[in-house]
Amino acid sequence: MEGHGEHDEIITRKADDNEKFSALAFKLMTDPFVGQLTFVRVYSGVLAKGSSVYNPIKGKKERIGRIVQMHANDRKDIDELHAGDIAACVGLKDVTTGDTLCDPG
């Protein structure tokens, strides 16, 4: 996966757990029991519940409250996501569809 850094340089990341974290928020949904769910696909790295992510589109850092695996109307809490995984995150306030999330550092 390729992207652009702060100074417009090309950054390449492999779909690997050992790379820095990057993900795409592709869907938002409101759940009556959980609140706002942000569905993400992890492209590289690992995302753990309780960790902080950086949204370069908004220029803001946010904290992941919970991570839930959705199965139709059922939810299962999980501790982390790996490269290639899709799940929903709880606790993201300023993320919109199409935003990129990455390591805060």
Architecture label for domain 2-102: Beta Barrel (2.40)
Contacts with 81 (C-beta within 8 Å, 6 or more apart), sequence order = 23, 40, 42, 46, 47, 67, 87
- Domain residue spans of the chain: 2-102
pTM, full prediction: 0.86
Q: What is the pLDDT of residue 73?
A: 75
Q: What tens digit of pLDDT does each residue of 26-84 get?
A: 999 998 888 899 999 999 999 999 999 999 999 999 999 999 998 887 889 999 999 99
Residue 1 pLDDT grade (very low, low, confident, very high; cuts 50, 70, 90):
low
Tokens 């109307």 correspond to what residue? 73
Closest alpha carbon to 40 in 102, 88, 96, 91: 88
